[in-house]
Structure 1
Amino acid sequence: MAVTASMVKELRELTGAGMMDCKKALSETDGDMDAAIEYLRKNGEAKAVKKAGRIAAEGLVMAEVKDDKTAAIVEVNSETDFVAKNADFQAFVKAVTEQAMATEAKDMDAFMEEAWIEDSSKTVHEALTEKIAVIGEKLSIRRFEKIVSDGCVVAYIHGGGRIGVLVEAETDVVNDEIRKCLKNVAMQVAAMSPKYVSRDEVSQEFMDHEKEILLAQAKTENPDKPDNIIEKMIIGRLNKELKEICLLDQVYVQDSDLTVSKYVAKVAKENGANMTVKKFFRFETGEGIEKKVDDFAAEVAAQAGM
């Protein structure tokens, strides 16, 4: 398969690896993007897989919580930041959030076909179409999540709607201190972007996959070290990675002497509560969406001699 400049650009954005390294990886893997990422990681060229695509779309993330028990979070996209700041657009996103609070839908298709909360004679999809006609830009209701809890749910919105987080905890005590604790945990999620609540959620498949990657990296970097030393290195690196991607294992950003788990336990003890962080959702506006194709592909082509 011919390797194109746009493919090199995409792989470079995903991995942070050098241009020629990306071109070589794609050539070696016959243009398979996932295999090329694996190739770069195994050869130590990719420091980290940054993101699944450049964040380029505009819009808003909005969340709502009712009585500590029911919460919803939505992302609605627009083409420009100018529209995202428009009062009419913001009012529409608020209505979408209220729709999500009331919905029984389990996926976006069902959500879009529900009766619109502000006018039951039309569907959510029809309301969106009308709003597009009024605002004059392409708009998209991209995703939603809803939580109905027996414990406590809190929401946190960062950057005027750039990032939104819901955190749910099982707890037999709900007071201002518990809410504040969970709000701080939500701020942690916004800042540190964990993938899991705890190690219990990490699949064996993921662990085996990461061990394979780390083994290849360690052998590339330390060709003369014996296998038993390499094994210890892998365990150490895997534990370090888990501390970064598992919320409860992360260093608590407001007190580096504590992990998030220890912080939650401390607040729970102070309030006589049995509290466990159960779930979180983190939405970042435009996450993984490439808004437009610019001239960078041509620049890559010129430099790579394509």
Structure 2
Amino acid sequence: MTAPTISAKQVGELRKLTGAGMMECKNALTETDGDVDKAVELLRVRLGDKALKVGGREATEGTVASYIHSNGKVGVLVEVDCNTDFVARNEDFISFAREIALHIAASPSTLYVSEDEIPQDAKDAELRVFEQQAADKPENIRPKIAEGKLKAWMKDVVLLNQVHVNADKYEGKTIEELRATLSGTTGENVVIRRFSRFAVGA
């Protein structure tokens, strides 16, 4: 039996309903054959109601952090949101936003915050290229090779999928894992809303 294909739209819908992390939502949907109601139930069991209620709350407070590289040629602005002004002024929260800005400055390939922001036509275009690159491989393994390359590409361009550039400091954790940890410790829905990266001559 083949695993169901879970769309970014389904993952996004489940994230809105629960506030759970993207990979948690994707795994829950895979395990429940794409049934959103059952996936909500599964996440409630795994994460507890408190975590999900926090996630479901609108993130209307937050901070804008900046980072400018020492050579003055690369700069980043990032908006990170939360539920209350109290947490928005919390040192851990502000420090997290700064660390995200630093990471983006060091990662020029980052284009999107999450996978569900990637336009479908951009994904399709990449997949076509990867399929052509695999044309010299046996036909039965070509789709798998192309899918693997697409996943690797998404790791390069999607912020939440990336391991923080200070891998030693953060024990090789991804940005999504760091975001989820902060969400847990603050008890609020922490959302990396958007970012802009500026580079001289780019």
Q: How would you bin the TM-score normalised by the shorter chain?
A: 0.5 to 0.7
Residue 237 (str. 1) matches residue 149 (str. 2): yes
How many residue pairs end up in the alignment? 135
Q: Give the SS at the match of 2:77.
A: strand
The structure 2 residue matched to 1:212, chosen from 117, 125, 128, is 128
2:111 aligns with one of 166, 176, 195:
195
TM-superposed deviation, 1:169: 1.5
Secondary structure of the residue that 2:195 maps to in structure 1? strand
* 4+ residue runs over 6 A deviation: none
Letter in structure 2 aligned against 1:217: Q
Q: Are residue 183 (structure 1) and residue 98 (structure 2) matched?
A: yes
- CA deviations 1:129-169 (Å, max 9, x no partner) are xxxxxxxxxxxxxxxxxxxx842111111124211101102
Specify the alignment match of 1:284 in structure 2. Answer: 199
Matches within 5 A, 1:139-158: 150-158=61-69
Paired residue type of 1:242: M
Higher strand share: 1
Question: Which structure: greater helix fraction?
Answer: 2
Report the equivalent of 1:171.
82
Q: Deviations over 1:157-208 (max 9, x none)?
A: 1124211101102212211110100100111100012011111110110011
1:256 is displaced (CA, Å) by 4.9
Letter in 2 for 1:275: V
Q: 1:161 aligns with which of 72, 78, 89?
A: 72
Question: What residue in structure 1 maps to residue 164 of structure 2?
Answer: 252
1:274: Cα distance to partner? Answer: 1.4
The TM-score with structure 1 as length reference comes to: 0.42
Q: TM-score, normalised by structure 2?
A: 0.63
Answer with 1 or 2: which has the greater Rg: 1
Secondary structure of 1:192's partner?
Answer: coil
User: 2:65 & 2:82 partners in 1: Cα distance?
Assistant: 13
Instruction: Give the residue type in structure 2 aligned to 1:170.
Output: D
How far apart are the structure 1 equivalents of 2:124 and 2:67? Answer: 34
Q: Provide the C-alpha distance between the structure 2 equivalents of 1:164 and 1:176, rounded to a whole number of angstroms.
A: 22
Give 2:201's aligned amino acid.
G
The one-letter code of the counterpart of 2:77 is L
How many Å separate the matches in 2 of 1:162 and 1:237? Answer: 31
Q: 1:76-111 CA deviation, whole Å, 9 max, x = no partner?
A: xxxxxxxxxxxxxxxxxxxxxxxxxxxxxxxxxxxx
Equivalent position amino acid for 1:244 in 2: D
SS at match of 1:274: coil
Aligned-pair identity (%): 33
Report the 3-state secondary structure (helix = DSSP H, G, I; strand = E; otherwise coil) of the residue aligned with 2:197: strand
CA RMSD of aligned residues (A): 1.4
Q: What does residue 291 of structure 1 align with?
A: none
Q: Which runs of 5+ in 1 are unaligned?
A: 1-148, 288-306
Unaligned runs of 5+ in 2: 1-59
Matches of 2:79 and 2:92 in 1, distance apart? Answer: 15
Q: Distance in 2 between matches of 1:198 and 1:278?
A: 10
Quick one: distance in 2 between partners of 1:256 and 1:215? 34
Alignment-mate amino acid for residue 180 of structure 1: S
Deviation at 1:270, TM superposition (A): 1.6
CA contact (8 A) 1:170 1:275 kept: yes
